[in-house]
Structure 1
Amino acid sequence: MFDHVVFGVSDYAASKAFFLKALEPLGIAVVQEGRHGIELSSDGKVSLCMFQTDEKPAHLHLAFVAKNRQQVEAFYNAALDAGGDDNGAPGLRPNYSGKYYAAFVIGPDGHNIEVVCHESEA
């Protein structure tokens, strides 16, 4: 639906470390980093960009697609290890759909980071 998302962070180093570790299980890595911040992607095309700002941005809800439920669980564990706060352990969310398997973590700036798998259990 979108080409890329750009948002400001209050502590660039902490956010960079958090997102790199938390999203590593999804194959998301640095595409480019420079004076305008960092650009991340899983396919080499920029999709998530962040930069240092003194502005107080509103909290975001970012949801990433996982290929399977194991990636959801790996994200959750990696995100907690990276300093994220639990906002919903991996599990089915039947209020969304019968196959909606997701985990939620609050990142360094209070953003709700979700990873979701829409596939049935293998």
Structure 2
Amino acid sequence: MFDHVSIGVSDLERARKFYDQALTPLGYTRLSTSDNWVGYGAEQPQFWIKRAARPVVPDIDSGLHFCFVANSEEAVRSFYKNGVANGGTDNGEPGVRPEYGSFYYAAFMIDPDGYRLEAFFRRPE
């Protein structure tokens, strides 16, 4: 459905350091870099982070979050571990989410700018 998604941040270097570490275990790398943006993806940039004079103020109660697909439970755990070690905040440790189904293995965190993130792996049923 989406070709790409963009978020605005006030500190691009801080965001770059965070996302370089958090997304690598999921198979997503920084594929585009400039003084004003970075783009991440597997084959082409699909998640863009841009320097913004007035980034949208993230609201934990808004329901907005970004979920990244993982290819294993280990990738979900590494996403979480790397992210928290690089400025992210815990919002749900890695594990099965029975409220979504026995197949749903995920971890949740908040990035340094307040955006809610999730990594999800669909376990075999």
Give yes or no for TM over 0.5: yes
Alignment check: 8 A CA contact 2:10 2:55 kept: yes
Runs of 5+ consecutive residues of structure 1 not aligned to the other structure: none
Question: Counterpart amino acid of 1:19?
Answer: Y
Q: Counterpart in 2 of 1:64?
A: 68
TM-aligned CA distance change 1:36 to 1:11, over 3 Å:
closer
Aligned length: 120
2:2 maps to amino acid: F
Moved more, 31-40 or 94-103: 31-40
Tell me, yes or no, if structure 1 residue 46 matches structure 2 residue 65.
no
For 1:14 and 1:75, how far apart are their aligned partners in 2? 17
RMSD: 1.5
The alpha carbon displacement at 1:53 in A equals 0.9
CA–CA distance in structure 1, aligned partners of residues 23 and 37 of structure 2: 17
- 1:74 matched to 2:78: yes
Shift of 1:58: 3.9
Residues 26-66 of structure 1, C-alpha deviations (whole Å, 9 max, x = no match): 121111112441111112x1211111112140424110000
Deviation (angstroms), 1:104: 0.5
- Asked whether the equivalents of residues 66 and 117 of structure 2 are also in contact (C-alpha less than 8 Å), the reply is yes
Dislocated runs of 4+, deviation >4 Å: none
Percent identity of equivalent pairs: 37
TM-score w.r.t. the length of structure 1 is: 0.91
Q: Matches of 2:89 and 2:2 in 1, distance apart? A: 27
Distance 1:15 1:66 in 2: 20
Q: How far apart, in 2, do the equivalents of 1:51 and 1:96 lie? A: 32
Q: Give the counterpart letter for 1:28 in structure 2.
A: Y
Q: Secondary structure at the match of 1:89?
A: coil
State the alpha-carbon separation in 1 of the partners of residues 87 and 16 from structure 2. 12
Distance in 2 (CA, whole Å) between partners of 1:89 and 1:69 is 12
Normalized per residue, the structure richer in strand is 1
Q: Which runs of 5+ in 2 are unaligned?
A: 59-63
Whole-Å Cα distance in 2 between the matches of residues 36 and 11 of structure 1?
Answer: 10
